[in-house]
């Protein structure tokens, strides 16, 4: 059986890790042992933060909708309740975009939500 030399394979693996470590500071970008650990950890952060980004954006949309709705005399929770009672199914991302770019359309949606709420919920 022929002898297998592994220099090409290990060089390619090292190159792949070091390319992924581009932009890291200190030895983490050019020493294979520290670069491998840093790249592994960065992948864990990337996986985790892809989930967290969804959370963060939802919170942002809710804040925007809350601010827009308060100007029209409702709170966020009463507005969402009114939407549910009115049978309007628009997600928070779209509501946020409407509040920013189409204030008249957003105001119409808020009015429909107000009509669907009981009278004492709107007055309070």
- Domain range for 111 is 7-123
72 — phi, psi (to 5°)?
-100, 10
pLDDT of residue 1: 85
63 vs 76: CA distance, rounded Å: 9
Distances (CA, A) of 26 to 21, 35, 44, 50, 52: 11, 10, 20, 26, 28
Mean pLDDT of 67-83: 95
71 pLDDT above the threshold of 90: yes
Any residues with CB less than 8 A from the CB of 72 and at least 6 apart, and which? 107, 110
Q: Could you tell me if residue 1 is inside a domain?
A: no
pLDDT of residue 120: 72
Dump pLDDT digits (tens) for 87-119: 999 999 999 999 999 999 999 999 999 999 987
Dump pLDDT digits (tens) for 8-62: 999 999 999 999 999 999 999 999 999 999 999 999 999 999 999 999 999 999 9
Q: Could you tell me if residue 2 is inside a domain?
A: no
User: In this structure, how many other beta carbons lie within 10 angstroms of the beta carbon of residue 5?
Assistant: 8
pLDDT of residue 124: 59
Any residues with CB less than 8 A from the CB of 81 and at least 6 apart, and which? 117, 121
CB 86 within 8 A of CB 112: yes
CB 107 within 8 A of CB 72: yes
Structural domain count, the chain: 1
pLDDT of residue 104: 97
Q: Could you tell me if residue 83 is inside a domain?
A: yes
CATH code for the domain in which residue 38 is found = 1.10.1900.20
């Amino acid at each position: 059986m022929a002898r297998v030399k592994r220099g090409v394979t290990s060089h390619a693996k090292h190159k792949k890790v070091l390319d992924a470590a581009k932009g890291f500071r200190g030895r983490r970008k050019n020493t294979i042992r520290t670069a491998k650990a840093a790249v592994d950890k960065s992948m864990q952060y990337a996986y985790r933060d892809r989930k967290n980004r969804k959370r963060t954006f939802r919170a942002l949309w809710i804040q925007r909708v809350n601010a827009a709705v308060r100007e029209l005399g409702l709170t966020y929770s009463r507005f969402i309740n009114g939407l549910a009672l009115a049978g309007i199914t628009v997600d928070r991302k779209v509501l946020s975009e409407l509040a920013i770019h189409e204030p008249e359309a957003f105001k119409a949606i808020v009015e429909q939500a107000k009509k669907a709420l009981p009278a004492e919920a709107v007055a309070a």
